[in-house]
């Protein structure tokens, strides 16, 4: 697994100069466009935003909070760009988001959703102290496993 110190988070800001070299990939530009439509719906409230995961000047994935906390709960999500899978990107992202959420409000219940099957993401969540708590509906996944962080 890659050394987490090599990774960093960059806040996703759709008003940023999209001609910056690190945003050159189609994946980055698609993410910037998606957030330009998403932030007006959920708001831009630090730290409850989306982030690019960067390593060595390259964007290798994305992560963020689905929305600002509601009813004392906040959901995190992460994704590794396919060409960087298996290099510790999502593990770093999950840990970084946990740290941000706990620092901002230690009383929050931190949740995540996955496809209802054992996979890399379920192993990442388990490794970071999450426990599967049930099945919920997700607009992208359908039936999804819901996870909660257990301190």
Q: Read off the pLDDT of residues 107-140 as tens digits, 9 standing for 90 and up.
A: 999 999 999 999 999 999 999 999 999 999 998 8
Coil vs helix vs strand at 54 = strand
- 2-6, 17-21, 144-148: least confident range: 2-6
Residues of the domain holding 67? 4-149
Q: Read off the pLDDT of residues 19-59 as tens digits, 9 standing for 90 and up.
A: 888 888 888 889 999 999 999 999 999 999 999 999 988 99
Looking at residue 102, its pLDDT comes to: 97
Of 151, 89, 95, nearest to 120 (Cα)? 89
CATH number at residue 119: 3.40.630.30
Q: What is the pTM of this model?
A: 0.92
DSSP string of 60-104? Answer: EEEEEESSS-BTTEEEEEEEE-GGGTTSSHHHHHHHHHHHHHHHH
Coil vs helix vs strand at 117 = coil
Q: How many domains does the chain have?
A: 1
103 Rama class: left (phi>0) / alpha (psi -120 to 50) / beta? alpha
């Amino acid at each position: 697994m890659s050394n987490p110190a090599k990774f960093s988070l960059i806040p996703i800001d759709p008003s940023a100069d999209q001609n910056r070299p690190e945003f050159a990939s189609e994946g980055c530009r698609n993410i910037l466009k998606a957030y330009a439509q998403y932030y007006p719906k959920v708001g831009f409230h630090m730290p409850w935003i989306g982030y690019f995961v960067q390593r060595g000047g390259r964007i290798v994935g994305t992560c963020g909070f689905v929305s600002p906390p509601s009813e004392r709960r906040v959901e995190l999500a992460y994704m590794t760009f396919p060409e960087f899978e298996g290099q510790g990107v999502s593990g770093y992202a999950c840990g970084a988001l946990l740290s941000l959420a706990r620092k901002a409000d230690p009383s929050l219940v931190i949740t995540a959703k996955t496809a209802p099957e054992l996979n890399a993401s379920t192993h990442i969540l388990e490794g970071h102290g999450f426990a599967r708590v049930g099945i919920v509906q997700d607009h992208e996944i359908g039936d999804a496993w819901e996870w909660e962080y257990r301190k």
